[in-house]
Structure 1
Amino acid sequence: MPETQNTRASRRAAAASADATSNLDTTPNLDIPSSADRSRRTHRRLAGIGAAAAVGIALTAGLVQAPSAIAALTSAPSEAQLRKGAAVAQDAGIVLTNAQALNNVVVASGLDVPAAPVDLAELTGDVKALQSDDLTADRLTALTASAAKETDEVLADTETLQNALTQAREAEAQRIAAEEAARIEAERAAAEAAALASANTVEGAKATAREMAASQYGWGVPLCPLSSGEGGLGWSRLVEGAVAEHGVEDVGAASS
């Protein structure tokens, strides 16, 4: 009996030990990736590293370029830039003076000039800006180019206005000459009409006779042919009107 019990107890102990052993998982549950998975993960890590490097390079380049850009905006102009700007401003000032003088002449002429006055606003503004002492290099370069361009445009507009003024003056001279010719012709016609009207009177006839005698015969006192009493014409007697006007002695001296 005791052997049987021991056998049973031993069997129970062995069974319990076997159950405990079976419940223990001594093998680790490892998820080992395949070679394809490892390759894909490696590519992803490399891509991430490359992107980070690119961002870093871009940021570094930006940090390097930013100071140079700021320096360009705030840098002082060179001596060559200053000389060029001053020369352009001087030329522009001369052009502005001439254009303004021409505008004043056109206004004072009172003529109908077929061209607009020269616009000086933009060039004047550029010249004024070029005279500033705190210009950066970029600003001075831009103003110099703008002033040079505006100078050429003002020159062209000045030439156009000058040609238009010349044409207006010539037209005005022709108008004045035509008016003067018309005035002279009117005076001549009026004189002829007055002479004709005067010739149709007694005094007009006397004046005509005097002019004819003086021009054709050199007589100072005109004589009038009268009938000699024998049916013919002769110069035996003087016109009574001439005698009455000049006297007997003068008439006799003129007719001798």
Structure 2
Amino acid sequence: MHSDQIAPARRPRRRFTAAAVVAGTALGIVVTTGLTLASPSLAAAAPMAATAIASVAAPDATVHTLRDIRADAKSTLLAARVAETAADSITADIAATGLDIGMTDTSVDTDDLTETTDRLAQLDIVPALLLPGLAADASAATEKVTARVADLREHLDAAKAQKAAEEAAAAAAAAAAEAQRQAEAAAAALAAANTPDGAKATARQMAADRYGWGDGQFSCLLSLWTKESGWNYQAYNNNGGATGIPQALPGNKMASAGADWQTNAATQIAWGLDYISRSYGSPCAAWGHSQAVNWY
């Protein structure tokens, strides 16, 4: 080459900036994934491409942002799964109780939630720039299902509370009726025991059970208290103040056997048998003393 020859001009090399590469890559991802932006929430994710381009100058920040996007998507997916479980649970609970919760329709429509959840469940293969839109759809469906579940749960709890109140009222009424029956039975038994024949039967049984006194001793007791009071629990001696079947003097001594000594022949008999046992050892001994001195 001679020095006076002029070398042909060189064509300028094309330089591709990092921003152009990212933009092209982002566009390519959107096209090749087969996902569309038909949903308003997905359309809203388009600006993420611009954000990705702008963040090329700060790759560390970009990595951090994408990591946050995927973390948020996972959190949204978990909440959606929980909502699906809650929907299944409330419908099962309503069916199990068989209660009328005051609502004609007790179902939970989870079609949208299932659809959006299935999309979001592919977060490992879905481009990060589309995740916010998918998460927004899943979040909206989750809120709808959660609100429905809460409404059904409130009605079910109210129905359970009403049933519990009704059962408690029925139990209280049954308890009151039983208490009344027992009170009437006790009153009838007391009235029967307070008759002379009832008092004699009570005394015979008590003498045998508590002291081992048989019919021979009871025969003496029968004679003794027939003489003293005629087996009348209301007997009262105006001359000395002796009271009741055993003619206790004073009558309030029988309080040691029970506070109802004035109205219950059994209480008077219990006191009288104890008095005879301590003072004479047996009814026949007491009857013998009474025959000898006219008192016991």
Which range, TM-score by smaller chain?
A: 0.3 to 0.5
* Structure number with bigger Rg: 1
Normalised by the length of structure 1, the TM-score is: 0.48
Point out the structure with the larger helix share. Answer: 1
Could you state the TM-score of these two structures normalised by the residue count of structure 2? 0.42
